[in-house]
Amino acid sequence: MSILLLEASNIEKYFADEKILDIKSLKIYEGDRIGFVGPNGSGKTTLLNILAGELAPDGGTIRRVCNISYIRQFNFSLTNQDILGSDHVQKLGQYGVLSIADNEITSGGEATRIKLAYALSTPGQLVFADEPTSSLDIYGIKQFSNELYGLTSFILISHDRDLLNLHCNRILTIENGDIAIYEGNYDAYKQQQEAKQKRQQFEYEQYQNEKSRLQNVYKDKKSKAAKVAKKPKGMSSSEMKQRAFVATSRSFDGRQKQADQAAKAVQARIGQLDVKERPKETTKIKLDFALTDPPRNKIVLSGSDINFAYGQNTLFENAAFEIQNGARISLQGKNGSGKTTLLNLIFEGHPSIYQVPKLRIGYFRQGLTNIDHSKTVLQNALSESVQSETTVRSALARLLFTRNNINKPAGVLSGGERVKLSLAKLLVSDCNMLLMDEPTNYLDMPSLEVLQAILSEYEGTMMLVSHDKAFTDAICTGVLYIKDKGCHFWQNR
């Protein structure tokens, strides 16, 4: 018999007047290796916070019968005493960050490694992990994947399909505030979802066909009823009475009534049809890129003899690169090699890096610093836009913001929603080159697919850091690899 680790009943949670969680029952047993997926903003992180006891629900009860370790998405901090405690030294070494664990400055990937090493040094019986591989390079992701093999029970929020397929035996989603559980890994879940969407499309088409058929029948019967009621041209009233007397239905009024009733019966059948909603269609964005006044130069950005160090840690020594107009470059290298640093040097205008006069750079930072949390989603998107308000609304819709969500304060958005808002602001701004540092962090699968499509269509120049290989392979035309304190370029296509 499986051992119960956690039980939640009738969980309710509101943000303002909107109920985002309405969960009737959730039981987690020993051996449950759960992948938690769903749209950004559906309540995944909120539910984990409630289950961990860090956020109080507005209703319902939770019973925890085990120790829980929580690898959080945001708001993680450690003291040096925490990091260098004897329990953690071995794990820090395994993650390759023992020598830098007490550094004041670390890369995003290094900070994530430190966080994972601390949380997994003495894991609880049940582990919660909220986007634990964000900013990790392929080596860090492999290390964490090895850790998962040793965990008996966990809930994993992740957009990494490989992790979900390798390690999960159940998939949990939030649908209309309540949970739905699918047996199997992520691929099994996707197959069930695709079958469900095909069924919905088929049912919608069947519904539309039957509705159209009945509407035509209704029009035909109404037409016949009108003809019955109409007195033939040239026929007197006495002739009409005589014809009505010999008619089978005794009177034209009776025949008209029968025809009207038949039409109403068809109309009633239309009203009784089980209504099927049209599957959602993709919103199109029509950015007017000419409004950014883009440069026409062949080479828009270049660097030569770049030297940079943090104290004794030299990251670049006589490094050089060139970026062509319209190129989409994947910036790669191990955690700590200097990827984010190079983006910072470009954006801040390092003296060894030249950009053409018309180049205007927008920077998507891991910290999402371009968002004003006191403003709504729409106000944020409009604040630096050169596009029309209609285009801005279309961009937000394309990034899966609903009409209700665009009037939310940015401060209440989920991590994935903040990422999408930050990206939306850049897309509609006057920028004609994008620097993006881990833009896929915290995004759900639908959002990843949307972002991939949008960036593939982007007319400007782009340089991005992402450890999602499938994502970069689909978008990027070249690779700039940081190794041995230099930059090495090769063309993809």
Kindly report the CA angle at 265 between 259 and 267, in degrees rounded to 5? 105
Helices (H), 336-468: 339-348, 377-383, 389-398, 415-427, 445-457
Coil, helix or strand at residue 203: helix
- 359 CB neighbour count, 10 Å cutoff: 19
> Percent of the chain having pLDDT more than 70?
85
pLDDT, tens digit, 9 for 90 and up, residues 43-86: 888 999 999 999 999 999 999 999 999 988 765 555 444 544 55
Helices (H), 84-185: 86-94, 108-121, 138-149, 161-167
Coil, helix or strand at residue 387: coil
- Identity (one letter) of the amino acid at 157? I
Give 436 or 241, the one with higher predicted confidence: 436
Instruction: Report which of 480, 419, 407 is spatially closest to residue 448, judged by C-alpha positions.
Output: 419
Distance separating alpha carbons of residues 192 and 174, to the nearest angstrom: 15
Distance separating alpha carbons of residues 22 and 43, to the nearest angstrom: 10
Structure tokens at 48: 């984990």
Structure tokens at 481: 């690899």
For residues 354 and 303, the answer to whether their CB atoms sit within 8 Å is: yes
pLDDT, tens digit, 9 for 90 and up, residues 411-460: 888 878 888 899 999 999 999 999 999 888 778 777 888 888 888 888 99
- Identity (one letter) of the amino acid at 434? L
Strand order in the sheet with 18-29: 18-29, 4-15, 59-64
Beta bridge partners of 438: none
pLDDT, tens digit, 9 for 90 and up, residues 200-213: 777 777 778 877 77
Backbone dihedral region for residue 331 (phi beyond 0: left; psi -120 to 50: alpha; all else: beta): beta
Structure tokens at 416: 């994935």
Buried b / exposed e over 360-377, threshold 16 CB at 10 Å, is: bbbbbbbebebbeeeebb
Beta bridge partners of 332: 481
Distances (CA, A) of 162 to 28, 167, 347, 438: 23, 8, 33, 18
| Residue entry with tokens 């649908």 | 175
Structure tokens at 216: 């035509």
0.75 exceeded by pTM: no
Element (DSSP H or E) covering residue 316: strand 313-324
Instruction: Report which of 136, 482, 135, 488 is spatially closest to residue 315, judged by C-alpha positions.
Output: 482
Backbone dihedral region for residue 39 (phi beyond 0: left; psi -120 to 50: alpha; all else: beta): beta
* 110-115 mean pLDDT: 82
Distance separating alpha carbons of residues 321 and 314, to the nearest angstrom: 18
| Residue entry with tokens 């060139």 | 322
Strand order in the sheet with 328-332: 361-364, 433-437, 461-465, 328-332, 478-483, 486-491
Lowest-pLDDT choice from 114-123, 273-282, 366-375, 431-440: 273-282
| Residue entry with tokens 């630096």 | 384
pLDDT, tens digit, 9 for 90 and up, residues 6-44: 999 999 998 877 888 999 999 999 999 999 988 777 888
- Kindly give, in sequence order, each residue whose CB lies less than 8 Å from that of residue 460, ignoring residues fewer than 6 positions away: 289, 292, 294, 326, 431, 432, 433, 434
For residues 5 and 153, the answer to whether their CB atoms sit within 8 Å is: yes
Residue 281 clears pLDDT 90, i.e. is over it: no
At residue 206, what are phi and psi to the nearest 5 degrees? -65, -40
Start-to-end CA distance of the chain, whole Å, equals 55
For residues 366 and 438, the answer to whether their CB atoms sit within 8 Å is: yes
Distances (CA, A) of 357 to 166, 293, 360, 361, 386: 49, 11, 8, 11, 19
Q: What is the pLDDT of residue 135?
A: 75
Q: How confident is the model at residue 257 (pLDDT cuts 50, 70, 90)?
A: low
